[in-house]
Amino acid sequence: MLIKNMQLLRSIGFFHGNILLFCVTTGAGIFVSPKGVLKYSSLNIAVSLSIWAACAVLTIISALSLAELGTTFPRSGAPYYFLKRSLGSSVAFLSLWIKFFMYPLGIATQSLIISTYIIQPFYTRCPAPELPKKCLALAILWSLGLLNTRGVLTVAWFQTISVLMKITILCFISLTGIVLLGIGKKENVAKFENSFDAELPGASQIAEALLQGLFAYSGTSILINIAGEIKNPGENIPKALITVLPMVAVVYVLVNISYLAVLTPQEIISADAVAVTWMDKVIPSMQWVISFGISTSIVSNICCTVLSASRLFYTASQEGQLPLIFSMLNNYFSPTVAITQIIILASCLIIASDLINLIKYSGLATWVLRGLYMIGLLKLRYQDPNLPRPYKVRLPFVFGSIAISLFLILTPMIHSPKIEYIYGFIFIFSGLLGYRLHVHLNQRSVCFDKITCYLQLLFNVSPPEDQDERISTGKKHLEEIFL
């Protein structure tokens, strides 16, 4: 039996929007990226801190530019829908292709980070075994998947609770660093003296360091991805970005100063869990507390990422580029099948990996998409200047975002070309081949419709009522099969 009047609800206001944005931004990055930023800054402390400040500015420019997408098309999966509207179905499918792998990769990486932080204190003299780390990561991952099936408002309340733990941990690390520098111990202050006299990195290294630092700000598009569930998105999305991102930037710089006040650059780049190593130096007996607190804070980040990814799959299904079952909702108005698919893909990716390389390649794909968004924004402004735009970003921000994307993508390839970059671009643009196959194989199959019906019964989901004509036709066809 199909449930009528199903659709995503606009239940996220300004307060919960700020909570979601803060949670997803301050996730695994601040505990992982300092290692990569310092490495590619040639262990230059002054350059490293400058990179973090530059990342804050670049993130704010990019986020405010993307905000126009979510306010002009206030629906879930707005970036995907925007690309289809502005640059066509093939480019929209390319973004879907990239994120279909990138989202599970990020979720799997963060799950492994959490398990490492929880288990490592029990193995103080050696690295933690891989098997228990993987098992714990899988348990956490599936628990968060179940939480997401309870609806966006449940996720928002969960984030409200977890954000208190996150703020406590970050403030403790930041204030401790300030106190240590204020006391003026010679070994703490000496690292910052004459720091600009150290070796300076080249242009390609700066680009690599920026990619590492920008990873810590990844997730700023969460509100654009769930724009269809935000109250008054034209006002709340820009206000949340302006409120939260500068605050996060200040916290990030202070946390990095604290790391550098306690640890040497060599200790930071050799540490798998920087914050745990930092606590081991400050209060060794409380190492397990910081591990648990950091793990809890990263859990909230994964939860938001699953939420964001499921809305992308939901919209792609409505637009006919994923099976219809991905856009069906359960009794909590949540796309259960899309969430399950993301969790399964992430589970397959929970394997031992080099986090620095993962950050680099996911960052490359992210900025390819950011560049496409800005090109589409300019094209749509030219083609449809009278389209209602509750929030309109200034053109210097748009061109600045395009310049940032080109610098981060091209500089490492020109100055230090590696075969890995070729592989990365082959993967990205193989999505165009996937699109051609999708177009040719997009034939209606009675067998496939029956599978969809069985999955609909298994997950107890129903098609939403806000589908376009193509989806409505498909819904009618499914109802006929049931009857």
147: tokens are 């939480």
pLDDT value at residue 473: 38
**Residue 10 to residue 262: CA distance in whole angstroms:** 46
Query: What one-character DSSP code corresponds to residue 2?
Result: P
SS3 392: coil
344: tokens are 């399964």
- Total residues belonging to the chain: 483
Residue 85 corresponds to which amino acid? Answer: R
Query: What one-character DSSP code corresponds to residue 103?
Result: H
230: tokens are 């935000």
Give the total number of structural domains in the chain. 1
**Residue 222 to residue 149: CA distance in whole angstroms:** 17
28: tokens are 């695994």
**Residue 39 to residue 319: CA distance in whole angstroms:** 43
**CA angle, 28 then 30 then 34, to 5°:** 120
In 310-454, which ranges are E strands?
none
Give the CA radius of gyration of the chain. 23
Neighbours of 197 (CB within 10 A): 9
First-to-last C-alpha distance (Å) of the chain? 9
pTM exceeds 0.75: yes
CB contact at 8 A, 230 and 10 = yes
Q: What is the dihedral of CA 269, 273, 277, 279, to 10 degrees?
A: 140
**Residue 304 to residue 394: CA distance in whole angstroms:** 29
Largest CA-CA distance found in the chain, in angstroms, rounded = 80
According to DSSP, the residues that pair with 462 across neighbouring strands are 329
**Spatial CA neighbour of 144 closest among 355, 330, 345, 305:** 305
CA distances from 315 to 81, 228, 240, 310, 312 (A): 7, 10, 23, 9, 5
Neighbours of 448 (CB within 10 A): 13
Q: CATH number for the domain including 134?
A: 1.20.1740.10
From the number of C-beta atoms within 10 Å of its C-beta (0-12, 13-18, 19+), residue 325 rates as: buried
Query: What one-character DSSP code corresponds to residue 201?
Result: P
Residue 458 lies in a domain: no
Query: Quick one: which H or E segment has residue 420?
Result: helix 419-441
> pLDDT truncated to tens, each residue of the chain (483 aa)?
444 456 788 888 999 899 989 988 887 678 777 888 888 888 888 888 899 999 999 999 989 988 998 899 988 888 999 999 899 888 888 888 888 888 888 788 788 878 877 787 777 677 777 788 888 888 999 999 999 999 888 888 888 888 888 888 888 888 888 887 777 666 656 666 666 566 777 877 888 888 888 888 877 888 999 998 999 998 999 999 999 999 999 999 999 988 888 888 888 888 766 877 888 888 877 767 777 777 777 788 888 889 989 999 998 888 888 888 888 888 888 899 999 999 998 888 876 554 545 555 666 777 788 889 999 999 999 888 888 888 888 888 899 889 888 888 888 777 777 776 677 677 777 777 777 776 656 545 555 677 788 888 888 888 887 544 333 334 443 344 334
Residue 327 lies in a domain: yes
pLDDT value at residue 45: 85
Give 223's contacts (C-beta < 8 A, 6+ positions apart): 17, 20, 21, 67, 70, 230, 233, 236, 237, 240, 241
Query: What one-character DSSP code corresponds to residue 128?
Result: P
- Using the structure block, give the residue that is written with the tokens 């003299």: 125
Neighbours of 91 (CB within 10 A): 20
Number of H helices, E strands in the chain: 20, 0
- Using the structure block, give the residue that is written with the tokens 């292709």: 97
pLDDT value at residue 336: 92
Q: What is the dihedral of CA 77, 83, 89, 91, to 10 degrees?
A: -110
70: tokens are 């979510």
Residue 112 lies in a domain: yes
Helices (H), 184-286: 186-189, 203-215, 222-225, 233-262, 265-269, 274-282
Residue 482 lies in a domain: no
Residue 3 phi/psi, 5-degree rounding, is -90, 130
According to DSSP, the residues that pair with 12 across neighbouring strands are 230
CB contact at 8 A, 237 and 67 = yes
Helical packing angle, 29-40 and 45-72, nearest 10°: 130
SS3 468: coil
Instruction: Domain of residue 286: give its range.
Output: 14-429
Query: What one-character DSSP code corresponds to residue 8?
Result: -
pLDDT value at residue 239: 93
